[in-house]
Structure 1
Amino acid sequence: MQRPRILIIGGGFAGMECAHKLERTLKAQDAELRLISPQDHQLYLPLLPHVASGVLTPQSVAVPLRRMLRRTAIVPGGAIGVDPHAKAVIVRKINGEEVVERYDYLVLTPGSVTRQFDIPGVDRHAVGVKTLAEAAWIRDHVISQLSLAAASSDRAERESRLQFVVVGGGYAGTETAAYLHRLTSAATKRYPGLDPTQINWHLVDVAPKLMPELGDRLGEKALDIVRRRGIHVSLGVTVEKATEDTVTLTDGRTLPCRTLIWTAGVAPSPLIATLGAETNKGRLVVRPDLTVPGLDGVFALGDAAAVPDLVKGDDATCPPTAQHAMRQGWAAARNVTAALRGTPLSDYRHKDMGLVVDLGGIQAVSKPMGVQLSGLPAQVVARGYHLGALRTITARFRTAANWTLNALAGDDYVRTGFQAQRPATLRDFEMTDVYLSPEEIQARVTSEVARRSMAPEKPLFP
């Protein structure tokens, strides 16, 4: 008898935690576990600003899936379409080959992509902070701007290369601006031709407050820290258009700028649109037990799912945070196991444990379990939380060692150049244009069924 196949899409917090938990609760003969991911690692997103500024190496925040998962078969590719009626997923492998993967139970954790909005030039001239490649590119690019500015005798060129714009006043944007500002400020000691007053960082957000989730007191504290650093914070303002060397804001200013970092929110993975199911602001509507109404055997969680927040009540949904994604992964594993065994499913319920914002050095603001902290105590909590959330001892050791080395020895300013020729666009880095239409999905599945019917000795799907 063929084992039930559990197919997990996405190797992020939710997907990896679900697979890891299923390995612990199910025996090998109970089910076949397969995880689809174009990357061979789980990326610890909250520390990407540290990678972008060179405080951490990329390996520190990339936990190898094969180190964590022993019995789960990893399919190296991305899901580009789902046919929930045929119980099939179309996967484009990293070598370009397309295959159809069948499932009995599907766990959807495709995550999110950077939200672009329809602003002229953003798709061509902005880069996000959602992938390891983006973080590595940003570091190379920022250091290159310092070198090019130091080499140039043209005043206008120097001004545009030394002006940086970060859009998005949430955690990712604020931490990215704070860490990169520290990097460029310290760099002036190594670039004798650069005047520190010529380097300008702008943090822009259409919201009236910086990180409103922190509350008024901590939000104002964070705002005061970044402004005292010298970062120009513009609230109630966003980008009107962007070109290769300018950024025009909605308050009428046009900034000469060759670096536009876009962190203005996230949007669910475009894969969700291929299912044809009900969505809430783009996120897949799910029940409290993480099942998708009307789709047999389908569970959805993480950034791409509108999971009801039973603790807050009313119509609240869980925010797209790593904290919720990890715990939803555990809950999904329990419920998939329950579905296999024919026992009742349980609802996901988790009270938010708080927030941490690392602004570099000894500066941070944190709100663990509702307790408001700032300065060194907040930094201890922030870094302690991150170390605890990293999933392997190796990753924790690397991260702690990198932090210690950077604190003792300072920054280095080395351009690797390995991504110098890579287009810095959100589409290229985050692969937002690879997904199929419903008609294309049905055609692929029908073609696979016809092909397999010519070879009856083989299973219908691999």
Structure 2
Amino acid sequence: MRQPVHIVIVGGGYVGMYTALRLQRRLRPHEARVTVVGADSFMTYQPFLPEAAAGNVEARHVVVPLRRVLSRCAVLNGWVVAMDPARRTVELQPHTGPGRTLEYDLLVFAPGSISRLLPVPGLAECGVGFKTIEEAIRLRDHVLAQLDLAVSTTDPAVRAKALHFVFVGGGYAGVEALAELEDMARDACRYYPGLDPGDLRWHLIEATGRILPEVGPEMGVWTLEQLRQRGVDVRLNTRLESAVDGHIVLDDGTSFDTATLVWTAGVKPHPIVLRSGLPLDAMGRVRATAELTVEGSAEIFTAGDCAAVPDLTRPGTTCAPNAQHAVRQAHTLADNIVATIRGGGLTPYRHAYAGSVASLGLNKGVAQVYGRKVRGRAAWFMHRTYHLSRVPTVNRKVRVLVDWTLALFFRREITSLGALTQPRRAFEHAVRFAEAEAGTEAEAGAGAGRGA
């Protein structure tokens, strides 16, 4: 009896999860077994990160548990630290304990991307990214904590530093994150006596001459005007030169102190891509064919942020690294794997970019869809409708919709739960207090002995 084909999927993001989901629907029992390897046991729906950061959506509702939706797949957590295409093996390092070797017949290589950092002094120590749910919630709690600090301190310098919020990068992540958090903070000010929304200083730093290039020049200019009307200091053609100890220095000579530096200036392929032994393009992405196989390797498939996939609708270019392409590539990729197993022909990936939508806070948005430009409340509604239709599983769709419905009747939560990232802090304080108390008692006992 023929052994089932072993398919290993590296990466549990858009490509990894949607590919596995389609495979378990299309493959017949005992035709193949699928193993998904990822650092986390969930997939994050990144377009909802700004809303989660602003408190419009519960954090757990923007992640999809892989073990629940991929019931017919094996899910392993850890990092792929090496791979050998010749031997058809990948080396998995779990979060704790010894590593293990996984053999495969077919491989889906989709580890995704990480933040693209630049050698800016102080950035590594002071900055935070905006690619994961942990970063989004940490940022929300941090912003609220800065408001708490601003109304509690009597030091003008501490207050000024707390109320400066800097975002570097004028693409989707930076603009949406800033807009949603500014909207949240503005709303929260009503609960902070002595703190006016005008006291908050929001800065958007962009190295090029425009923001939101995805929605086109006209809508980008409109977004720029809207942000400036809201008091956001948008600096175009400007670079961050230094951020040592939170002291921001821009190349136009501007300098100030901040406790909040959000880095959203692009992404780059995951580090494992460089160690994969696969052919790469000039940007460090895996060279892919239109059928989503790796060039020269019929048994390895790739897609998403880490792959240079030819855009057949625009010859000579590659597909943009965004969710719209990743989800559709995953469907084609899964179908091509099924065709490979069954001896069929492969289908080239082709998708004309439909357009982009962006949220700029409650009831505010901008969009360009099939050449049509939309802004304001209509664009915001389009943003929510589109992403609600795309977020995986009915479970998550309902939960997100309930969050939005409740927000119509109740104000946003403004509680900072930053201590969640350091759950042992209270216990450690208790330990130090007990040690100090024990030391005091010991000194008192020694003193009594000398007195006797």
| Letter of the 1:182 counterpart | D
Q: Tell me: higher relative CO, structure 1 or 2? Use CA pairs within 8 A at least 6 residues apart.
A: 1
> Partner of 1:272 in structure 2?
273
In the alignment, is residue 244 of structure 1 matched against residue 245 of structure 2? yes
Residues 61-100 of structure 1 mapped to structure 2, 5 A cutoff: 61-100=62-101
In the alignment, residue 168 of structure 1 is paired with which amino acid? G
Q: Is the 8 A contact 1:137 1:419 kept in 2?
A: no
Q: Which residue in the other structure is 2:402 paired with? A: 401
Match of 2:295 among 281, 284, 293: 293
Kept in 1, the 8 Å contact 2:208–2:238? The answer is: yes
User: Corresponding residue for 2:104?
Assistant: 103
Give TM-score, length-normalised by structure 1. Answer: 0.89
List aligned pairs for 1:303-382, cutoff 5 A: 303-314=305-316, 316-382=317-383
Q: Which runs of 5+ in 1 are unaligned?
A: 423-462
- Structure 1 residue 329, shift from structure 2 partner: 0.5
Distance in 2 (CA, whole Å) between partners of 1:97 and 1:159 is: 48
Q: How many residues align?
A: 421
- Once residues 406 and 245 of structure 1 are traced to their aligned partners in structure 2, the CA distance between those partners, rounded to angstroms, is 35
Tell me if the contact between 1:286 and 1:293 (Cα under 8 Å) persists in the aligned partners.
yes
- Residue 418 of structure 1 aligns to a residue whose secondary structure is helix
1:261 aligns with 2:229: no
Q: Give the 5 Å matches for 1:156-195.
A: 156-195=157-196
Query: Is the CA contact 1:286–1:305 (under 8 Å) kept in the aligned structure 2?
Result: yes
CA deviation map 1:142-183 (0-9, x unaligned): 111111111110001100000000011011100000011111
Cα deviation digits, residues 19-54 of structure 1 (max 9, x gap): 111111111211111100121111100111111122
Whichever of the two has the greater Rg, that structure is 2
SS in 2 for 1:145: helix
TM-score by length of 2: 0.90
Indicate the residue corresponding to 2:209 in structure 1.
208
In the alignment, the residues of structure 2 paired with residue 303 and residue 245 of structure 1 have an alpha-carbon distance, to the nearest angstrom, of: 31
Gap regions ≥5 residues in structure 2: 424-452
Q: Which residue identity does 1:299 align to in structure 2?
A: F
Equivalent residue number for residue 199 of structure 2: 198
Listed one character per residue, the Cα deviations across residues 269-303 of structure 1 (whole Å, up to 9, x for unaligned) are: 11111113222201111111111123351111000
Specify whether residues 25 and 188 from structure 1 end up closer, same or farther in structure 2 by C-alpha distance, changes over 3 A only.
same
1:22 is aligned to 23
Distance 1:133 1:96, change over 3 A: farther
Is the contact made by 2:15 and 2:329 (CA closer than 8 Å) also made in structure 1?
A: yes
- Once the 2 structures are TM-superposed, how far is the Cα of residue 420 of structure 1 from its aligned partner? 4.7
Match of 1:443 in 2: none
Question: Which residue in 2 is equivalent to 1:442?
Answer: none
In the alignment, the residues of structure 2 paired with residue 353 and residue 149 of structure 1 have an alpha-carbon distance, to the nearest angstrom, of: 44
Find the aligned partners of 2:250 and 2:197 in 1 and give their Cα distance. Answer: 24
Where does residue 51 of structure 1 map in the other structure?
52
* Identity %, equivalent residues: 38
Return the offset for 1:256.
1.0
Q: What RMSD, in angstroms, separates the aligned Cα atoms of the two structures? A: 1.4
Q: 1:74 to 1:420 in 2, by over 3 A?
A: closer
- 1:123 corresponds to which residue? 124
Change beyond 3 A, Cα 1:419–1:282: farther
